[in-house]
Chain A
């Protein structure tokens, strides 16, 4: 497994540039500069860039070669006997796999080229499934071929701990899910959970942000599609949005807990909280909640919600709890309040969705959840001095209070007092926050 390097790539590149300046200005000694270079592996930066570029070139080359092989056999040359065609397909696949494996793992002389060749082997494997059907004139639903491709790619990904192979598995299996979904919605509701169970361990072991993001993206899309299939009820969209908000939260938690990129993590956490707030806000209005009340819970009609969004929420619950239990997360001041606030809100929504309560319960709970979210964001914004958390918190809290006072019949004097207090509060809080931020920056500088 690759050695973990401290700091993001951008930070290391900036540091490398700064180090020269510091050294020339006499701010740090040669020894200190060397110690920093070693700590952040700055000498490897050039090699990493070349390696990344080479890997990209190799993968693009692999895709083109795979295209060439497919097109050649797809031409369905009459003069080539079937047995020869089959032998050609198998030979191309095996040649790519074996030569790649030897270069990557046996000799280890050209690991990136070797890895790209193994990926080429898996691409040819997928093409072979379709071409075999063509050679033997077999009509079958094309998504069956995609499922077989995904299985082969996933097994290869785990056997060699290969992220590109895993990406192929995620993409093909997701297209397979979409095809099934259009054919018979609700029939493959188990897919997102299997995808997460199969994809996340590899993402975790390989520390692959790309893989983690792809799995969660596909997961979120499945949940949203499932929710979209449930007709004329606000419940599907609500639960699905809750699940997607959790996904964003989980993604943020992953970045804070596992990968040393807390900025990405914190942004995802804020996005999660904001997307959740959007739905909470819509249903915090009495008129909308009344609409919600009129739709009795019908599992048969809303099978997508019952079968997809609910397990998704349970899964996200596990993921977030795992992230919370990670040592780094518990120590992180940004993560805890946001996750807890988001989580309480989600649970409130899930309970309401499941139990189909009266509109008044929906309104009260959703408003409470919104206030909790706003306070959580405000607090974490203050603690970490991050604008991305502080100002959304202000908007959410201000929005809830204003909306409620405009929604309900209230005396003009009360309304004016609330407006005044809110205005003063926002200005005072904002000024305090910005001055703290300025001070912190002055200290840092």
Chain B
């Protein structure tokens, strides 16, 4: 048995690495607060992943955040902490942004953490993989219902976000 240990060790490590991918999102999904975000999607094609929608949020554009009080000038690779607050229509919007974790977060506010990649701020919720056979329907929906496209995400106390579902017009697609 002892001579098989190296192999067992290598396989266990590979299993742990694979399991670690979704494991990072589980605590967020279990304990996070639900937030509805407004999107502006584009639709590329990825050979390995099949069809997927690249989601761009209003809070992804640095020039939009620049209008908010106290927003620093983000440089490529910088961390961005954006404070969100629910609007009257149920959609959450940014109220302020900073490079560091904000101190005065009110109970009705949520902090989401991202990184500026040189073009936009990414939060790790930018990809929605389209289920087999739903591509044409979602594509059509995204074209006609762009203004009514929302993404439901969960955000935990550390600013990590996880995608929950996609709302295109009246239709809902669970993640």
**Please, what's the 1-or-0 string for A68-106, where 1 marks a CB less than 8 Å from any CB in chain B?**
001000111110000000100110011001100100011
A36-94, CB < 8 A from B: 70, 74-78, 86, 89-90, 93-94
- Residues of B within 8 Å of A155, CB to CB, are 9-10, 13-14
Which of A122-130, A209-217, A349-357 lies at the interface? A122-130
For B, the interface residue count at a CB cutoff of 8 angstroms equals 37
> Do A93 and B18 contact each other (CB < 8 Å), given the known contacts A105-B7, A138-B25?
yes
- Residues of B within 8 Å of A156, CB to CB, are 10-11, 14
Other-chain contact of B17, A76, A121, A152, A160 (Cβ < 8 Å): A152
A8 at the interface (CB under 8 A from B): no
B129 x A129 contact (CB < 8 A):
no
B22 at the interface (CB under 8 A from A): yes
B126 x A133 contact (CB < 8 A):
no
A368 at the interface (CB under 8 A from B): no
Report the separation of the CA atoms of residues A138 and B125 in the bound assembly, to the nearest whole angstrom: 6
Report the separation of the CA atoms of residues A94 and B15 in the bound assembly, to the nearest whole angstrom: 9
Other-chain contact of B163, A70, A94, A101, A137 (Cβ < 8 Å): A137
A159 at the interface (CB under 8 A from B): yes
B132 x A75 contact (CB < 8 A):
yes
B129 x A137 contact (CB < 8 A):
yes
B40 at the interface (CB under 8 A from A): no
A130 x B49 contact (CB < 8 A):
yes
For A, the interface residue count at a CB cutoff of 8 angstroms equals 40
> Total number of A-B contacts with CB less than 8 angstroms?
108
B154-174, CB < 8 A from A: 162-163
- Residues of A within 8 Å of B27, CB to CB, are none
A76 x B132 contact (CB < 8 A):
yes
Closest to A160 in B: B7
Report the separation of the CA atoms of residues A92 and B24 in the bound assembly, to the nearest whole angstrom: 23
B24 nearest CB across to chain A (Å):
8
A304 nearest CB across to chain B (Å):
18
**Please, what's the 1-or-0 string for A124-151, where 1 marks a CB less than 8 Å from any CB in chain B?**
0100111011111111100000001001
B14 x A93 contact (CB < 8 A):
yes
- Residues of A within 8 Å of B4, CB to CB, are 101, 105-106
B36 at the interface (CB under 8 A from A): no
- Residues of B within 8 Å of A151, CB to CB, are 13, 17
Other-chain contact of B22, A74, A106, A132, A139 (Cβ < 8 Å): A132
B131 at the interface (CB under 8 A from A): yes
> Do A125 and B18 contact each other (CB < 8 Å), given the known contacts A97-B11, A137-B127, A139-B122?
yes
Report the separation of the CA atoms of residues A160 and B53 in the bound assembly, to the nearest whole angstrom: 40
- Residues of A within 8 Å of B134, CB to CB, are 78
Please give 12 more A-B residue pairs, beta carbons under 8 A apart, in addition to A132-B22, A134-B52, A137-B128.
Answer: A70-B48, A74-B49, A75-B50, A94-B15, A97-B7, A130-B49, A136-B22, A136-B162, A137-B125, A139-B126, A148-B20, A156-B10
